[in-house]
Amino acid sequence: MRSMSVGDFEKQIKKHKIKRWEIRGCSFCNYPISYLFVESGGGVEVLTDTGCDCVVGPSRITDYSMEGVISLYNMNAENDNPLAKRMYEDFYLSELEENPNGN
C-alpha cells in the first residue's frame, strides 16, 4: 500500500458515492463511530459522528478534515495495520495503484 493524498481519497469518495465510513464501534455500546462525507464546492467536507450517549459533550456530529482522514490512513499503512487495509478496500484504493493516472 502506498501513501495516499487528499485528492486520491476525494476522487474515490466521489466516484463510489461514499457517504459514511465506520472508524470503529464505541467501546461501551458499539455505536458505529464514523466519518461522514459531504460533497461541497468541488471538494469533500468531512464530519465525524460519535452519535452515542457514551461520549462527553453536547455535539455528536462535528467538523473534521480530509487531512485527518489521510493522516489516519498513511500512518497505519506504514505499519501494514489492519485499519489501513480496511480503508484500502473500502475506498477502492487499489484502483489508484492499478491506474495511477485515472485513465
The pLDDT tens digits along the chain (103 residues) read 678 889 999 999 999 999 999 988 888 888 888 999 999 888 899 999 887 877 666 667 888 999 999 998 888 888 888 888 888 899 888 888 777 565 5
Distance, CA of 49 to chain centre = 12
Query: Does residue 1 belong to any structural domain of this protein?
Result: no
Q: Does residue 93 lie in a domain region?
A: yes
Q: Which residue range forms the structural domain that includes residue 74?
A: 6-98
- Taking each helix axis from N to C end, the angle separating 66-78 and 6-15, rounded to the nearest 10 degrees, works out to 110
Indicate whether 103 belongs to any domain: no
pTM score, whole prediction: 0.82
Residue 90 lies in a domain: yes
- Total structural domains within the chain: 1
Q: Would you say residue 46 lies in a domain?
A: yes
